[in-house]
Structure 1
């Protein structure tokens, strides 16, 4: 089968598009003919170094994906051949204390597609049946694929971790990235007030068109000061961020007393300054978050079926154009998800 895979670590020169062995469906698994995947920052990380993530080369890229069921086992009762499905990217043990209590994202043996094992940027993927979900009927395959990482991550941050309420104000850093856009959509879907930041006016304008109530240009404005002005000196209830070190001080200063912040990334560095006195005097709450559980994914899909949100697709590339797609992601030019369409030959 055709796939995009890394043969080493470096730049696009280590990414090949060619033939890889087709997976053999194991007992309890479902074989899916992939139709689309979307790019995530971890795809660049795996290409560049993959440091700290156990993996073997060559390895097929792609964490999230959607497609059509090719083959199921005789005992499968929920999913059938021909179904249009989206994949949860975390393969779990099912036996540890975290899996047993339904918190699969904390599984001690979790292995992610495209990180610890072959991923979704291939004509076929075989995964455990519990990782396969019927996709929203009104979504195309790229839109469905986008749910598996960015929207699931945002769902857990917004609803499970910080538990945003309709009457609250949420500050979202780095609008234009997939998680930030997903958080904006979810926050506005329940009626909360959303303030978003970017260093580019064009992205801020597009965010307004998607429902952002206020925008802050982090290149020309002091984010914390502006957030305070926009809240009458009170501060925001919740901060959603995945930028890390560069925005952390502003994020803490933007919060109301007792406010909550959820973080899921560190694209600008993972050693932010620690304003501990502000943290304990104002009794701020910090939540680390990544991905989401099977139940959260199911809830997200059901939410999407109502028609309230639809993932923003920045651009679509063919599998043969993977180098160009990765370069666009690396340049930070995107507004929304960069999709890879996978067509069988």
Structure 2
């Protein structure tokens, strides 16, 4: 089969012929129609990730058709259109992943290839209203957003939500899901264009996080503080989120792209009775609930740009630029 192979740190991915993987007991082989990029892929390429090994086929997100099953695997899966849960071996406790938890695409070869083999429990039927490219945009970002918004922050219909740094895949999926369940969603971004596009997807409005004292301006515009705040940056700007939160608010963050947050003024947290929550990926139950929510509400993930598999390096550079609005997708096989 053809696959994009990364041979080492700061090297370009190369399209080459490699052995087609065969499903072991309990696994399925998926012929991939589409895969999607995540920042994780760029971080691995740059050597900014734990447990590096080379050569490796990157890619955590994928959708395709089951073409073979391993011993003991339900044969009725053959021919099914599926999307892949990139999380493996979460562990026994739903509150947090165990030490053996892995994400597809390192250390196991991932989805930037014509075929991939995964455990049968990692595939779910593709929502019927989504194309393969749209479905491929969903898994990692979708389960991350779902767990952050619903499992951890326990968002309720009618609550006021702030999603910071809108434009990335997880943030947009969180926006779409929150709007679908009847929340009032506001956003921040460094780009007025991205704020306008978020409004087109259902956000009430937004503000640039570059604006001076933006929490006061935005909370006045929104009519109050935010019950739930969803963040992926942390860093110095995290202190602004404390000011934007309503009393009793929940601030959940699933990344730290701007690094560690500075010292947190304790009084702001305890006097406002805030909850600060960390979140990473999600359980199989989170993944199933996320897919069901997208199916139930007919939500379509936002796609930024689609590349051919052979253009994988260009797609990674697009991700690295950070200019995307939505998911960057690789088209692998015709539907």
TM-score tier, shorter chain, comes to: over 0.9
Counterpart residue number, 1:75: 72
How far apart, in 1, do the equivalents of 2:75 and 2:280 lie? 27
Q: Shift of residue 190 of structure 1?
A: 1.1
How far apart, in 1, do the equivalents of 2:120 and 2:88 lie? 10
Corresponding position: 1:248 with 2:238: yes
Task: Note closer, same or farther for the CA distance 1:70–1:183 as it changes in structure 2 (3 Å cut).
Answer: same
Mean CA deviation greater in 207-216 or 111-120: 111-120
Task: Note closer, same or farther for the CA distance 1:61–1:18 as it changes in structure 2 (3 Å cut).
Answer: same
How far apart, in 2, do the equivalents of 1:3 and 1:104 lie? 35
| RMSD over equivalenced CA pairs, Å | 1.8
Task: Note closer, same or farther for the CA distance 1:159–1:78 as it changes in structure 2 (3 Å cut).
Answer: farther
Corresponding position: 1:110 with 2:62: no
Counterpart residue number, 1:95: none
Corresponding position: 1:187 with 2:196: no
Query: In the TM superposition, what whole-angstrom CA distance separates every residue of 1:257-295 from its partner, at most 9, and x where no partner exists?
Result: 221011001111124332222122222101111111111
Mean CA deviation greater in 119-128 or 246-255: 246-255
Counterpart residue number, 2:3: 3
Candidates 3, 19, 22, aligned match of 2:20: 22
Mean CA deviation greater in 18-27 or 259-268: 18-27
Query: In the TM superposition, what whole-angstrom CA distance separates every residue of 1:4-23 from its partner, at most 9, and x where no partner exists?
Result: 1211111xx33212122221
Counterpart residue number, 2:51: 54
Tell me if the contact between 1:146 and 1:337 (Cα under 8 Å) persists in the aligned partners.
yes
Give the secondary structure class of the aligned counterpart of 1:138. Answer: coil
List alignment gaps of at least 5 residues for structure 1.
93-97
Task: Note closer, same or farther for the CA distance 1:64–1:247 as it changes in structure 2 (3 Å cut).
Answer: same
How far apart, in 2, do the equivalents of 1:193 and 1:259 lie? 14
- Residues 1-345 of structure 1 mapped to structure 2, 5 A cutoff: 1-10=1-10, 13-51=11-49, 53-73=50-70, 75-77=72-74, 79-92=76-89, 99-101=91-93, 103=94, 106-232=97-223, 234-343=224-333
How far apart, in 1, do the equivalents of 2:205 and 2:4 lie? 40
Tell me if the contact between 1:89 and 1:148 (Cα under 8 Å) persists in the aligned partners.
yes
**Aligned length, in residue pairs:** 334
| TM-score of the superposed pair, with normalisation by structure 2 | 0.95
Query: In the TM superposition, what whole-angstrom CA distance separates every residue of 1:88-131 from its partner, at most 9, and x where no partner exists?
Result: 11221xxxxx7335x29613201211122211111111111111
List alignment gaps of at least 5 residues for structure 2.
none
How far apart, in 2, do the equivalents of 1:26 and 1:300 lie? 28
How far apart, in 1, do the equivalents of 2:262 and 2:107 lie? 28
How far apart, in 1, do the equivalents of 2:6 and 2:304 lie? 24
Q: Shift of residue 168 of structure 1?
A: 0.9
How far apart, in 1, do the equivalents of 2:213 and 2:333 lie? 46
How far apart, in 1, do the equivalents of 2:19 and 2:237 lie? 44
Tell me if the contact between 2:228 and 2:245 (Cα under 8 Å) persists in the aligned partners.
yes
Tell me if the contact between 2:142 and 2:173 (Cα under 8 Å) persists in the aligned partners.
yes
How far apart, in 1, do the equivalents of 2:43 and 2:240 lie? 26
Give the secondary structure class of the aligned counterpart of 1:60. Answer: coil
Q: Shift of residue 170 of structure 1?
A: 0.4
Mean CA deviation greater in 243-252 or 28-37: 243-252
How far apart, in 1, do the equivalents of 2:81 and 2:236 lie? 40
Give the secondary structure class of the aligned counterpart of 1:46. Answer: helix
How far apart, in 1, do the equivalents of 2:304 and 2:241 lie? 27
Task: Note closer, same or farther for the CA distance 1:70–1:78 as it changes in structure 2 (3 Å cut).
Answer: closer
How far apart, in 2, do the equivalents of 1:277 and 1:68 lie? 53
